[in-house]
Amino acid sequence: MNLAQTVFGAEFQNPVLLASGTAGYGRELDGVVELDALGGIVTKAVTLEPRSGNPPLRAAEYWAGMLNSIGLANVGLDAFRAGKLPWLRQRLRHARILVNVAGSTVADYVGVVDGLDGEDGFVGYELNVSCPNVKEGGAAFCARADLLAEVVGAVRRRTARPLVVKLAPNLPDMAATARVAVDAGADGLTLINTFPGLLFDVDDRRAVLGAGTGGVSGPGVLPMGVYSVWRASQAVDVPIIGVGGIRSGDDAVQYLLAGADLVQIGTATFGDPRAAERVLNELRRYGRRHRIDHVRELVGAGTVHGGNH
């Protein structure tokens, strides 16, 4: 199966990317996984100023996945531009790079993009407008159509690079929100971010995470992610990146059948740093087993009986 395709005006050698926040800035997994054999990497979030993030405990496992509240901890724009991006640019010759951008205000997003747009070595931006792990900004941009249109439109006016907007899963109408993002200038969508969640230590009755609530990810969210991609793909005609709960090649195929062009591996990487390579190899075997010539044959090929839910 030919896995290469042109998405966002760039050639992706395969559809398997590492998700933002799960592989740092790439160097953290270098030598463990062959980064340049993947389709790409989405960097850890970049904000205008450095962020120390939320207090510990920041991550906790549960039977169906993980609850985390990192709080967008990152080195900030200046350190990313001076050290992280040059390393990625030098190290990756084939894997494509998307820079995840986050902020608390519209000006924050614009500032990061203004600060990076003159640099080379990356394809475009993934706008994180849906993180549930910060008290300000984050999910608010995606929960309100006017704020979503404002932030996407503001960034759109500052760059000609592809803009991929990462949406929350817990929206009243995924199709309508997808249309708002695309109408405001999004070139693509990433679906989904984590679900808001809360767990307690049943012995001391305190929240297990230092920040209290966090984001739910892992195998348990797979059907919700696939559903969100399917709904959005019916509403807009832009590339979609599917993410949430992927642990195997078959999981990746689920997203492709729903309408995703690319997929991201996130939580699985914590348990198995080579998960993305394994998913890629299993995807190849799926293609051989089903005698598929090109991965594009799978995109949107799933059949859903009974109409919309």
**Can 131 be counted among the known catalytic residues?**
yes
Packing angle, helices 222-235 and 174-183, rounded to 10: 50
Q: Name the active-site residue from 123, 131, 257, 260.
A: 131
Strand order across the 214-217 sheet: 59-62, 65-68, 214-217, 195-197
**Closest-CA residue to 242 (of 9, 42, 97):** 42
Catalytic residues, by residue number, are 131
